[in-house]
Amino acid sequence: MFRARFVISVLLLASGAAACFAQQSEPSSTASCNLDDGRQVYIRYNPVTTKTDKASNGKPWTPGGAPMTLFTEAQLSFGGATIPIGAYTVYPIPAKDRWTLVVNKNVTPHSGYDEKQDIARAAVETDQISQPSDSLEVAFAHTGDKCTLRIYFGKAACFAPFIAK
């Protein structure tokens, strides 16, 4: 009986999350990271170009008007904070020399950024690349229990390590 209730609860939660994100009208792309134990971390984002979207210094960036969405099947560590299993919004905050990455627990579609709902915030390794990227490129690099989120846009590249617990 418990097992049936658990399965039903998981299915309802998954269908609710799917309905929540299905409301986004923008097309989306996904980058994923498979951990050694089979759990997965992935991020969904709107593909944009440097011609159609700008990342403003010091302000949370929402490519295509919507934040990136992080889904994790593993508890993660980022910037000294613990990120539980679940879904979260991710906001890169560009700066000239160093970007910050924010993980926020508010996944309500079309809601604005609310700093009070941040669960993790950290300055991330940032570099300037010689070959600019005309479109947003998001990927994960996987090593052991670490999935490093890589974001390339224009001449900027940033790298954010998420470590599975």
Structure confidence at residue 45 (pLDDT): 98
In angstroms, rounded to a whole number, what is the distance separating the alpha carbons of residues 13 and 66? 22
Structure confidence at residue 18 (pLDDT): 47
Dihedrals phi, psi of 139, to nearest 5 degrees: -155, 165
Structure confidence at residue 26 (pLDDT): 54
DSSP characters over 70-106: EEESS-EEETTEEE-SEEEEEEEE--SS-EEEEEES-
Structure confidence at residue 3 (pLDDT): 43
Enumerate residue ranges in the chain where pLDDT < 50.
1-24
- Please report, for residues 85, 123, 127, 128, 158, the alpha-carbon distance to residue 151 in angstroms, rounded to integers and kept in the order given: 22, 14, 11, 12, 5
Closest CA to 24 of 110, 91, 138: 110
Structure confidence at residue 84 (pLDDT): 98
pTM comes to 0.83
Residue ranges of domains in the chain: 27-164
Q: Helix, strand or coil for residue 52? A: coil
Structure confidence at residue 122 (pLDDT): 98
In angstroms, rounded to a whole number, what is the distance separating the alpha carbons of residues 97 and 133? 17
